[in-house]
Amino acid sequence: MDRNMRLYQQLYTIRYFETLLLEKFSTGVFHGTTHTSLGQEANAVGVLSQINEDDVVVSNHRCHGHFLAYGGDPLALFAELMGKPGGVCGGVGGSQHLHWRNFYSSGVQGGTVAMAAGMALAEKFSDKDAIVVDFMGDGTLGEGIVYECLNMIALWDIPILIVLENNHIAQTTPSHLAIAGSIPQRFEAFNIPTTHLDTSNILEILPAASRLINKVRSEQSPQALIIETARLGTHSKGDDTRTSEMLTRLWQTQDPIAIHGARLPEQDRDAVKNKVKENIQSAFMKALEMEGGGS
Amino acid sequence: MSSKSPVTVLDSLNLGLHQAMEDDPRVILLGEDILDPYGGSFKVTRGLSSQFPKRVLTTPISEAGITGIAGGMALRGMHPVVEIMFGDFSTLITDQVINHLSKFQAMYHDQVTVPVVIRTPMGGRRGYGPTHSQTLEKLFLGVPGLTVLAPFNIKSNEALGIPGKLLYDAITVLDFPVFFVENKRQYLLKLLSSTDLQEYEVSEIETAGKASLPFYKLALRAAPKAQITLAAYGYMAHLTLEAAIRLAYDEEIFCEVLVPTQLSPFELAPLFDSVKRTSRLLSIEEGTLSLGWGAEVLARTAEALGPNLKVARRLTATGTVVPAAPTQEADCLPGVEDIIVRIREMV
């Protein structure tokens, strides 16, 4: 499989996982809540396709895409969301609290930046060359601990790549009601070198991520990557106050699956889609049949 | 390790930190103003940055940030120790402690451990006023996944003394987050030797677990049956001993003093054993009354002993802010006289 096909497969795996999850939520097989990664798939795949095995990934409440792009098992994630003992964290963590190998996510805004900074500092102390990739959102910029940590990340040359996915909305609050001033300048004020992309095109995100990850590793110091992106789904399961016109426009212009899919012959694209659907459906059914959990 | 023997609680804690850093390369210190020659606001970290310059990080005034960073370091195999300069500032770390450090092990299904020690001095009687004199550990008692410890100023048979040994074990042996409650006045107390305590029968009751987190029972030697059990920890345990000895000599009222070093989770079996004999219980703490340490101690004792607990009360600070002025501060915080008066009322 060539690179574009493989990337499309990874993007569509997240897309279809989240789509099936939302579709099945209403049937009562899942518990609690979920925050889907629809629209932000290219950030997850573009960045995480470029890390090394020893690198650490820290994610937030909207973590399914990151988890799957990291290589996490869709079956274990479905099982976690169903509250099964065979889930990623035995059903204790649920949607927002995942840990597998070097992947960690948590659900309180801002705290994950501190956690990620500490992990990266530990890697620096260990004299290994592993780094940390930390995903945060624009909504997280309201938390004070973020700025405490940016300060220490810069002061102590902590080897971390902060990926800020700016989807321009925090739950239902548009960013113009929550964020004053400039986002890049928040990082630049601490002398953290900042790269700013306005794209949902994985072929722009991937090379930038590759370059920045290499820099963090070789220079043992932080970098920030800000990606202007689009949340194409609701915040959680059904809470979206944006107009249908706005959503239609986002789907038409910023859908990373459509953007990348256009590079593939229709026949190949359909073949990948069918294969992914088959795998994800099979994972869902297997999770459903696992012992324990259930409503 | 320094060959000198610790004299005070401060010496003991300082030696415990030195020993932990020397024995365990995973130990790292973070805190504000902890570098030599200053060595920390209360000098607990004195000498450490000179001996271990790469492993002592002086930090910005970012209590939440450094606590969260310590949690991340612990998840990746280090054993960080955080100094929060004043216990009052522990309010700034509550999200990190409650929603992060204390949660990680259980929420990640026991795939991780979080060996972090957060040390901080609580307490007043130094005239520092309302935001630098509080006793706030009750905010952290009962948090699932968090252990709260408080040292007792005795030497015991430990080279480090009990405060230093407790801290050493918390740092190097325990693999879960610990909130380690020190006290500003306690720092200057002499470690009580067996000679200092010769009038007492001292029982060190070991608790189950990875490290020794002893519970102490002190009763006057050859005294008649005790009429009341006094429960106290940290600096208040010292004042309680003073009150108990005065009551014995001046008024022939005899007490058993029970001193836990592990405040939370609540493991109170030795206390229940004492109250079974005395049927009276007074808890004594420097924090405020409502929903405090004593409230839980009394509730658990009542649940365990039922009608065998006949009289139970709590002695605490009054419910005001801690004033800066010396006489007002003394009126606010429980002292030896207050303990004596309360015990008289109960027996």
Average the pLDDT over A99-111 and give the result. Answer: 96
* Sequence-ordered list of residues with C-beta below 8 angstroms from that of A111, at least 6 positions apart, any chain: A143, A145, B68, B95, B96, B99, B100
d(CA B91, CA B114): 20
Residue A237: pLDDT band by 50, 70, 90 thresholds?
confident
pLDDT at B3: 53
The residue of chain B with its CA nearest to that of A86 is B109
Task: Name the residue among A158, A248, A159, A167 with its Cα closest to residue A200.
Answer: A167
CA distance A101 to chain B (A): 9
Model pLDDT, residue B1: 45
- According to the model, what pLDDT value does residue B108 have? 97
Q: What is the mean pLDDT of residues A86-98?
A: 94
Residues of B in contact with A111 (CB under 8 A): 68, 95-96, 99-100
Choose among B60, B71, B111: nearest Cβ to A115.
B71
Calculate the CA B248 to chain-centre distance: 26
Confidence of residue A31 (pLDDT cuts 50, 70, 90): confident
Average pLDDT over residues B5-19: 96
Contacts of B76 in chain A (CB under 8 A): 56, 118-119, 122-123, 126
pLDDT in tens, B164-211: 999 999 999 999 999 999 999 999 999 999 999 999 999 999 877 666
**Considering the entire predicted model, what is its pTM?**
0.96
**Both structure tokens of B267:** 């493991």
Question: What residues form DSSP beta bridges with A56?
Answer: A132
pLDDT score at A235: 83
Mean pLDDT of A28-48: 93
Could you read off the pLDDT of B215-249 as tens digits, one per residue? 999 999 989 999 999 999 999 999 999 999 999 99
Mean pLDDT of chain B: 96
Enumerate residues 6+ apart whose C-beta is below 8 A from B97: B67, B90, B118, B140, B143, B146, B177, B179
Tokens 């969301």 label which residue?
Answer: A81
Give dist(CA A120, CA A128) in Å, integer: 11
Length of chain B: 347
Residue B204, SS3 per DSSP: strand
ipTM computed for the complex = 0.96
pLDDT value of residue A294: 55
Band (pLDDT 50/70/90 cuts) for residue B143 is very high
Instruction: State whether residue A121 sits within 8 Å of chain B by CB.
Output: yes
- Determine the pLDDT at residue A240: 86
> For residue B288, is pLDDT > 70?
yes
List chain A residues with CB under 8 Å of B144: none
Residue A127 amino acid letter: D
Please name the amino acid found at residue B167.
L
d(CA A221, CA B59): 18
The closest alpha carbon to B172, from B28, B11, B5, belongs to: B28
Q: How far is CA B179 from the centre of its chain?
A: 9
pLDDT the model gives residue B187: 98
Q: What is the pLDDT of residues B27-65, one digit of tens each?
A: 999 999 999 999 999 999 999 999 999 999 999 999 999
- Closest among B228, B218, B274, B283 to B251, alpha carbons compared: B228
Average pLDDT over residues A280-295: 89
- pLDDT tens digits for B99-116? 999 999 999 999 999 999
Chain A nearest-CA distance from B43, in A, is 24
What pLDDT shows up at residue A205?
98
Structure tokens at B174: 């325990």
Query: Given a cut of 80, is residue B212 above it in pLDDT?
Result: no
